[in-house]
Amino acid sequence: MANTFKYLNKLPQNIRSLSTSSSKSDAWLSKIFVRKIEPTKESHSRMLSDKEIIYSLQTHNYRPDSKVAYLQNVKNTLDFIKAESSLSKDVELVGSWTVNVGDQDQALHLWKFTGGYEKIDQYNEFVGKNKDYQRLIEEQGKIVRSRHLQYLLAFSYWPQIALRRPNNIYEIRSYALKPGTMIEWGNNWARAINFRQNNDEAFAGFFSQIGRLYNVHHIWCYNNLNGRKETRESAWRSPGWDECVAYTVPLIREMHCRIMVPTEFSPTQ
């Protein structure tokens, strides 16, 4: 307690008076930390996404000595799905990457389900009973350390996903937002995305529906790391970009960046 008063005595008089008055202090703190969330009749997913398309993001951590075997397993799984006519028209691999900078010995696979959750239910029912598919999953289980799956929706204001030609690197920037801030994030990024299209670097933008909630993933495409640096510096020179960043940073609880390279069987290169 003595240390507390010693610290307060060093503060300017106007701040000291706030600190020593509990009623004034409580009111002051409430203005900083309490957010007012406006009620809405619409779900966040309906307001932020206008597509009946669900994306599945698989994150696999494979054993360091099993990369070749792991990638072959994923390719075999992809071939299995392509060969099944009941799956191939509604289930599509968009991108497949291994992490180069960030979490080592990690791979990410982005799947697209056309037809909403109904198609995901049909897919899960089919593969759950198929012995060949289950054999592939059992084989995979022997060479991975952990797996995580998220179902995502695409932000309606992002450009449509366009597959890229070789050779590119990809950056996935993942954000854990404070609950209740997804609409604010969307409102700000609907403007911010306009500053990030000069070099066609915007690949995809998603928010989570099932899995880790209030997660956002932005995927960017660059020629190389130096191209990434130049593109990002160009955005900071654009009037208005700094303001968009200033509005969105307070919404973030945690952020994570990974540099990825496409696998040889990835549709986007």
pLDDT tens-digit readout, 63-93: 999 999 999 999 999 999 999 988 888 999 9
- Give the pLDDT confidence score for residue 240 in this predicted structure: 84
pLDDT digit string (tens) for 204-256?
A: 999 999 999 999 999 999 999 999 999 999 889 888 888 889 999 999 999 99
Tokens of 126: 């089919």
Helix segments in the chain, DSSP class H = 2-9, 13-19, 22-33, 44-48, 67-83, 85-88, 117-129, 131-141, 182-192, 225-236, 241-248
| Across 73-77, 98-102, 153-157, 235-239, least confident range | 235-239
Q: Is 203 helix (H, G, I), strand (E, B) or coil?
A: strand
Burial tier of 105 (Cβ tally within 10 Å: 0-12, 13-18, 19+): middle
Tokens 């604010």 sit on residue: 184
* Helix, strand, coil percentages for the chain (3-state, nearest 5): 45, 30, 30
Say which residues have a Cβ less than 8 Å from residue 15's Cβ, sequence separation at least 6.
Answer: none
| Residue 46 C-alpha from the chain's centroid | 18
User: Mean pLDDT: which of 37-51, 186-200, 211-225 is highest?
Assistant: 211-225
Tokens 């202090």 sit on residue: 25
| Residue 250 C-alpha from the chain's centroid | 17
Domain 49-262: assigned CATH number: 3.30.70.100
Average pLDDT, the chain: 85
**Beta pairing partners, 96:** 109
Q: Contact, 255 vs 173, CB < 8 A?
A: yes
pLDDT above 70: percentage of residues in the chain = 82
Torsion angle (degrees, nearest 10) of CA 189, 230, 168, 143: -70
Q: Please compute the mean of the pLDDT values over residues 164-170 and round it to a whole number.
A: 95
**pTM, full prediction:** 0.82
